[in-house]
Amino acid sequence: MKQVVQNYKSGELSVLDVPVPGCKPGGVLVRSAFSLISTGTELMKVSEAGMSMLGKARSRPDQVAKVVQSVAVNGLPATYRKVMGKLDSYTPLGYSLCGVVEQVGAGIDDVKVGDLVACAGNEHALHAEVNWVPRNLYVPVPDGLAPRHAAFGTVGSIALQGVRQGEPQLGEVALVIGLGLIGQLVVQLLAAAGVRVVGTDPDPVRCELAERLGAVACGDPGSAAVENAVAELTGGHGVDQVYLAAGGGSNQPVELAARLARDRGRVVDIGKCRLDLPWNAYYEKELDVRFSRSYGPGRYDPEYELDGRDYPIGYVRWTERRNLACFLDLAARGRVDVESLISRIADFEDAVETYRQLKDGELKAVAVLFRYPGEAGAEEAHAPAVAVPPVRRGTAAAPARPSRSPVRLAFVGAGNYATSMLLPHLARREGVELSAVVTTTALSAANAQRKFGFARATTDLDAVLGDASVDAVFVVTRHSSHAELTRRALLAGKTVFVEKPLALTEDELAGVLAAVEESGNDRLQVGFNRRFAPLLREAKARFGARTGPASLRYLVNAGRLQPGSWYLQQGTEGSRFAGEGGHFVDTASWLLGADPVSVYAVAPSGNEDLQIVLRYPDGSTATLSYVTAGAPGFPKETLDLVADGKVLKLDDFVRASVHGSKRWVSSRLPKARDKGQSAELASFVKAVRTGGPMPVPLESLVATTAATLAVQAALVGGAPVTLARSL
């Protein structure tokens, strides 16, 4: 299928061939009929992409702060690779469309194949021929509403949520600053609610349009006409609400809002305009400044948007899905006129040229729609009149390969860790062929194929697992899918590299082991990379063999998670330690040369910090302090190993030392922290090519996973948990 994409580094726009997304449970596949260009948000993104690197940094100081923090924690080279990887990737455009349901996922019963739906979301309602859309981000289109009008649903919801934040009442007067697409919709929604509206915009054409659509008066923000209209309508008191629907870097909108609002009026920010509030003006009137967050309650909540968990209507009357349905109903009943806003309907194949004309100012538009193939003669139908072709996935299997060189690898998942920490090492490794990349979203597969040279990109996992030419499968997806994907790959006879964790529950771990037993395939590696770190391996060698028990202390300064991190989805993705803790358990066990026999854990009340004690067969102990409340500038990982009159010290994979009869101190690494990914991958590829032993025994991988899972049981039980052998 085809999709509009942009390279944020170069600014290049293109219509790209990408795989059709898979139809996951909890959502539907939708074939697009019309999608709407947001002439505000999207053009701002397009313009940013065309800036120099310095310009990009100036426009996004929030992202610059994250980069600086990452440099402090991960080092400059690793941060550079991560940032450049994100910049030099295809990013999608679009978030508002109407289309036809082509396939229904498990658990969906409110729509069927052939239904017309309006869809929302900057990850799910993209300018693409086919999108996968979760339950709470689509609604059926009312009878009688044309598909091109239903494509306004998302921007209509944004305007509607802004109006709700203003709490307008019958007979009030409102000022709308900025009469672009959102502003025009706000004007109509307020007029439909019995509010008298004054609009302001520097463009006289937009002012005339707003007056035709229900505004009492409109004019240039610097003109006396606007102030006179407000004074006449309000008896000199000022407007009850001001809606900021303008963009740009001028502070004029917030200053005008203060001047024309009444005492204790409400100012609602819907757009992305400069907000340097003049303190005296806002204080003296005690103005109520409010923000409108996109489509409404549920936005940015993954449990609502991705998992389909609705909010009770008695507590949250207007969620983003209910806002979407409400706007479509208003449009279907003629209370909102979107036809008058349409400046052009462009064929989807002309997308790049359309964006160019908008960016260069050749096309002056309020709203522009893309029309997809098959819709030219069916714009007014309640559902498409032409038959929808079936979705096709995957490609034919390649012939069996007679030799074991090169090693052919397939990736399931192509997220940030895969593309920044694994694939750069594999793409340049001699004797490795990147055969296939499988993702549930088409664009991530296309990005990985372009950047790393995969032979094919697909959303069909079964086709890849059934391909006899694929030697090994990398599972680099979200944690909740690791165990099931590993189990399926093992049963398919593949050697498997799965990023940590191997499993999130004991049942998942048992399922992986059952697959090993059923298939006889134990060719498994978990991405516990730290034991392969060159600096730590050298320090262990210089420490030498032990004769007595050891004491190990490991401080992990994990830091706080950013809001919205999927690590916070503990209901589906497990606890943060269950997902990450295997790294540290494995490192301790490798240094001590054994697997733990018991686990004890305590946590202070009210936070996520953990103190974990692992006991080993020879009496050695490892104390792991996994903390989130530390200083972000402090090193993430530090450890001390003490035994036999010797001390090994590691400082965040940058410096190491061994103190004993002789003292050894490493020189500071000249480039960056090397946490072992390259050496780990080299060992894995060698094992696949030669058929030799896996880099880490399966017994150790299982013991580490069991110990990590036992932490939660120890916390609940308040006592040490003894670990029985899993094999």
**In the predicted structure, residue 473 carries a pLDDT above the cut 90:** yes
Mean pLDDT to the nearest integer, 66-76: 64
- Half-sphere CA count of 225, side-chain side, radius 13 A: 14
Q: Residue 324: its pLDDT value, please?
A: 98
Give the tens place of pLDDT for each residue, 344-356: 999 999 999 999 9
Between 144 and 724, where is the model more confident?
144
The structure's pTM equals 0.72
Q: Residue 673: its pLDDT value, please?
A: 83
Give the tens place of pLDDT for each residue, 147-177: 999 999 999 999 999 999 999 999 999 999 9
Q: Are 263 and 238 in contact (CB under 8 A)?
A: yes
CA distance 496 to 701: 13
Closest CA to 399 of 464, 456, 467, 498: 467
Element housing 354 (H / E): helix 351-360
Give the tens place of pLDDT for each residue, 555-580: 999 988 776 666 666 667 778 899 99
Give the tens place of pLDDT for each residue, 592-615: 999 999 999 998 866 678 999 999
Q: Residue 376: its pLDDT value, please?
A: 46
Give the tens place of pLDDT for each residue, 108-119: 999 999 999 999
CA distance 491 to 521: 7
CA distance 633 to 616: 33
Mean pLDDT to the nearest integer, 300-326: 96
CA distance 393 to 380: 31
**In the predicted structure, residue 78 carries a pLDDT above the cut 80:** no
Mean pLDDT to the nearest integer, 265-276: 91
DSSP string, 531-591: GG-HHHHHHHHHH---SS--EEEEEEE--PPPTT-GGG-HHHH--HHHHHTHHHHHHHHHH
Q: Residue 397: its pLDDT value, please?
A: 33
- Written in H, E and C, the secondary structure of 62-124 is HHHHHHHHHHHHHCHHHHHHHHHHHHCCEEECCCEEEEEEEEECCCCCCCCCCCEEEEECCCC
Please list, residue by residue across 551-568, b when 16 or more beta carbons sit within 10 angstroms of its beta carbon and e when fewer do.
Answer: ebbbbbbbbeeeeeeebe
Q: Which of 32-41, 299-308, 314-323, 327-336 has the lowest mean pLDDT?
A: 32-41
Q: pLDDT tier at 442 (50, 70, 90 boundaries)?
A: confident
Q: Residue 74: its pLDDT value, please?
A: 64
Determine the residue type at 51.
Answer: M
Q: Residue 185: its pLDDT value, please?
A: 98
Closest CA to 482 of 471, 470, 490: 490
To the nearest 10°, the Cα dihedral for 29, 32, 36, 42?
60
Q: Residue 403: its pLDDT value, please?
A: 41
Q: Are strands 456-458 and 432-438 parallel, antiparallel or unpaired?
A: parallel
Average pLDDT over the chain, rounded to whole? 88
**In the predicted structure, residue 379 carries a pLDDT above the cut 60:** no
**In the predicted structure, residue 51 carries a pLDDT above the cut 70:** no
Q: Residue 444: its pLDDT value, please?
A: 85
Q: Residue 272: its pLDDT value, please?
A: 81
Q: Are strands 116-120 and 138-140 parallel, antiparallel or unpaired?
A: antiparallel
DSSP string, 454-470: -SEEES-HHHHHT-TT-
Mean pLDDT to the nearest integer, 642-648: 96
Determine the residue type at 332.
Answer: A
Q: Residue 321: its pLDDT value, please?
A: 97
Structure tokens at 405: 């060189």
Q: Are 243 and 254 in contact (CB under 8 A)?
A: no
Q: pLDDT tier at 283 (50, 70, 90 boundaries)?
A: very high
**In the predicted structure, residue 415 carries a pLDDT above the cut 70:** yes
**Percent of the chain predicted with pLDDT > 70:** 87
Q: Residue 564: its pLDDT value, please?
A: 64
Q: In terms of residues, how long is the chain?
A: 727
**Percent of the chain predicted with pLDDT > 90:** 74
Give the tens place of pLDDT for each residue, 117-144: 999 999 999 999 999 999 999 999 999 9
Q: Which of 80-84, 197-201, 259-263, 282-286 has the lowest mean pLDDT?
A: 80-84
The phi, psi pair for 112, rounded to 5°, reads -135, 170
Give the tens place of pLDDT for each residue, 184-236: 999 999 999 999 999 999 999 999 999 999 999 999 998 899 999 999 999 99
* Whether residue 253 has a cis bond before it, omega within 30° of 0: no
Give the tens place of pLDDT for each residue, 670-708: 456 899 999 999 999 999 999 999 999 999 999 999 999
**In the predicted structure, residue 382 carries a pLDDT above the cut 50:** no
| Residue position matching structure tokens 């509010």 | 195
Closest CA to 388 of 374, 372, 370: 374
**In the predicted structure, residue 254 carries a pLDDT above the cut 70:** yes
